[in-house]
């Protein structure tokens, strides 16, 4: 290897354009005692051509240039040398690139970028971010200009077309422990006469298949399931078929038979992302608590998936990208479809506040107030929301430590916890999940209506004590009166169904306590929760 030599490698597809670039390179200033060779190479596969030129040259330093690029700084080789010699761990230098690669995989379209370049015939300056030192470390650089000081094999087995082979090469350098950086430029070093990118979806998919674990944060999907393998299979596949691939799927199964376990065997054989646990003797409460305690410290996000619901394919691709570009956001949710037992979508979606008529960012306080004002969980069921784990309370689904045991509104309680930590993004343009309604749902059991209302009362009490979302006595009065109305309807429904279980008694006592609070300065003293055997065991599939 010649440590005093640069090779400039160009993939030649248009002779006239390439010759113009080659001629311009004669004006470059050579570093002292360095030689420079120019290697135009041809071939349908750009990265195979690069590989052949790399193997042909003994130069330590190589600069891979798109033939449409003209260098604007004649001293660029000296400046590259200065950066390389400042840190032997630097493997790749570019003029622009992605600090984080967006979840669609396209480096040039990523939101968090740095560097600068001139583009198109009018020399439009693209300047993403000032770099405070000699360079900025990034995930990938754009392939128009890539300088290296080590030789690593180009992945021509996976890529033939831009713009994904250059991103892959950057990841290959990082896999070997080298840094990929963007140079600090006072003025743009390079002019790309055409910035049009031809996106090859097969190459994009190859990038995501091979490198998702390297470039994207891990998402944990947790699926508690019980005795409904047909629905569970659809839910599981909806998680595995996400366009966002860096996931793990944790299944906690308390089925009383082996149908789900037998179904799982084929999936466990072919997909290493799955972890499966079967606990035949667990109650629903046991199963939930087991799943709640699961924590992979390497996972940045977690999403619960109810075993009769569905994710839509782009859910994580969309939601992870929003979180990464909005550090002030602690909750991302979307409209969701309602489907029947056969997967047919009902014409009407779940109700939402009128203010949420478009995709928007809402303050956490306002998002919580809308939920308390309506007394409805417009944010969604556990399936709907992708959770950034750092906003959870002790990595658990809850708002306080008073929520041990069976707690039917754990989703609403968790949304309250998240909304005290930051803002909410509401996605109104497209559903990203589906909530299934069918006759075997636990929510159809009349006793559960009473349990829901009891839990809502406790959430109101917590909010008032924490001074969260409910700002004054007038707002609390409205919320409690609205709750009393809803709770009364639950009692009427239970009466029609001839159900008078212990849940109903608890609800009546809770209503009495709330009514007293309206007259005693809003001091809410709720009775203990008493639930019947059906609620306690959770055998209500």
DSSP, residue by residue, 486-530: HHHHHHHHHHHTT---HHHHHHHHHHHHHHHHTTTTS---PPPP-
d(CA 476, CA 469): 10
Of 249, 259, 61, nearest to 151 by C-alpha is 61
Question: In the numeric block, which tokens belong to residue 490?
Answer: 């639950």
What the chain holds in terms of domains, given with CATH numbers, is 2-213 (3.90.550.10), 216-440 (3.90.550.10), 443-537 (no CATH)
Other beta carbons within 10 Å of 495: 12
Residue 52: half-sphere exposure toward Cβ, Cα within 13 Å: 13
d(CA 72, CA 117): 10
Of 152, 41, 163, nearest to 92 by C-alpha is 152
Strands (E), 312-448: 329-334, 337-339, 360-362, 387-388, 423-427, 433-436
- Measure the CA angle with vertex 479, ends 477 and 485; round to 5°: 100
Determine contact, residues 525/517, Cβ cutoff 8 Å: yes
- Measure the CA angle with vertex 468, ends 465 and 469; round to 5°: 130
Other beta carbons within 10 Å of 496: 9
Strands 69-71 and 124-129: unpaired
Strands 433-436 and 310-311: antiparallel
Cis amide prior to 163 (ω within 30 degrees): yes
Q: Which pLDDT score, from 0 to 100, does residue 539 have?
A: 33
User: Is 368 in a helix, a strand, or coil?
Assistant: helix
Q: Which H or E run includes 214? A: helix 201-215
Strands 218-225 and 299-304: parallel
Q: Which residues pair with 220 in a beta bridge?
A: 248, 302
Determine contact, residues 105/317, Cβ cutoff 8 Å: no
512: left (phi over 0), alpha (psi -120 to 50) or beta: alpha
For each of the chain's 541 residues, which pLDDT tens digit applies? 999 999 999 999 899 999 999 999 999 999 999 999 999 999 889 999 999 999 999 999 999 999 999 999 999 999 999 999 999 999 999 999 999 999 999 999 999 999 999 999 999 999 998 888 999 999 999 999 999 999 999 999 998 766 799 999 999 999 999 999 999 999 999 999 887 777 788 889 999 999 999 999 999 999 999 999 999 999 999 999 999 999 999 999 999 999 999 999 999 999 999 999 999 999 888 898 899 889 999 999 999 999 999 999 999 999 999 999 999 999 999 999 999 999 999 998 888 999 999 999 999 999 999 999 888 899 999 999 999 999 999 888 889 876 654 457 889 999 999 999 999 999 999 999 999 987 666 666 678 889 889 999 999 999 999 999 999 999 999 999 999 999 999 999 999 989 888 889 999 999 999 999 999 999 999 998 765 555 444 433 3
DSSP 258: S
């Amino acid at each position: 290897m010649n440590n005093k030599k640069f090779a400039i490698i160009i993939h030649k597809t248009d002779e006239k354009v390439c010759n113009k670039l080659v001629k311009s390179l004669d004006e470059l200033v050579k570093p002292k005692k360095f030689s420079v060779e120019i290697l135009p190479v041809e071939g349908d596969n750009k990265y195979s051509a690069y590989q052949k030129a790399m193997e042909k040259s003994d130069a330590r330093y190589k600069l891979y240039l798109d033939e449409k690029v003209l260098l604007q700084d004649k001293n660029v080789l000296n400046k590259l040398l200065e950066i390389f010699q400042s840190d032997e761990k630097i493997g790749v230098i570019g003029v622009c690139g992605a600090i984080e690669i967006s979840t669609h995989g396209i480096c040039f379209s990523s939101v968090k970028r740095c560097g600068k370049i001139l583009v198109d015939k009018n020399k439009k300056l693209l300047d993403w971010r000032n770099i405070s030192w000699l360079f900025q470390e990034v995930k990938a650089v754009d392939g128009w200009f890539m300088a290296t000081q080590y030789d690593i094999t180009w992945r021509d087995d996976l890529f033939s077309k831009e713009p994904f082979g250059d991103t892959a090469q950057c990841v290959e350098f990082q896999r070997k422990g080298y840094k990929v950086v963007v140079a600090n430029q006072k003025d743009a070093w390079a002019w790309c006469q055409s910035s049009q990118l031809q996106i090859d979806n097969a190459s994009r998919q190859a990038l995501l298949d091979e490198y998702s674990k390297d470039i994207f944060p891990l998402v944990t999907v947790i699926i508690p399931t019980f005795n409904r393998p047909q629905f569970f299979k659809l839910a599981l596949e909806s998680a595995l078929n996400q366009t966002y691939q860096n996931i793990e799927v944790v299944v906690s199964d308390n089925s009383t038979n082996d149908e789900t376990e037998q179904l799982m065997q084929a999936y466990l054989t072919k997909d290493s992302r799955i972890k499966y646990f079967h606990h035949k003797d667990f109650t629903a409460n046991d199963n939930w608590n087991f799943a709640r305690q699961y924590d992979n410290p390497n996972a940045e996000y977690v999403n619960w998936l109810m075993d009769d619901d569905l994710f839509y394919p782009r859910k994580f691709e969309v939601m992870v990208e929003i979180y990464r570009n909005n550090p002030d956001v602690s909750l991302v949710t979307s409209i969701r479809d309602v489907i029947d037992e056969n997967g047919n979508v009902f014409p009407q979606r779940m109700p939402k506040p009128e203010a949420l008529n478009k995709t928007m960012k809402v303050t956490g306080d306002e998002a919580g107030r809308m939920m308390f004002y309506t007394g409805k969980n417009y944010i969604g069921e556990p399936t709907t929301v992708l959770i950034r784990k750092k906003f959870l309370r002790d990595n658990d689904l809850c708002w306080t430590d008073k929520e041990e045991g069976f707690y039917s509104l754990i989703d609403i309680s968790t949304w309250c916890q998240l909304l005290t930590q930051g803002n909410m993004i509401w996605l109104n343009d497209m559903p990203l999940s589906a909530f299934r309604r069918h006759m075997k749902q636990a929510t159809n059991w009349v006793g559960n209506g009473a349990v829901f209302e009891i839990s809502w009362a406790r959430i109101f009490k917590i909010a008032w004590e924490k001074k969260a979302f409910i700002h004054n006595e007038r707002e609390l009065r409205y919320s409690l009166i609205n709750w009393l109305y809803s709770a009364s309807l639950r009692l009427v429904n239970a009466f029609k169904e001839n159900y008078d279980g212990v849940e109903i008694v608890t609800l009546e006592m809770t209503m009495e306590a709330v009514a007293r609070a309206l007259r005693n300065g809003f001091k809410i003293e709720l009775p203990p929760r008493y639930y019947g055997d059906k609620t306690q065991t959770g055998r209500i599939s």
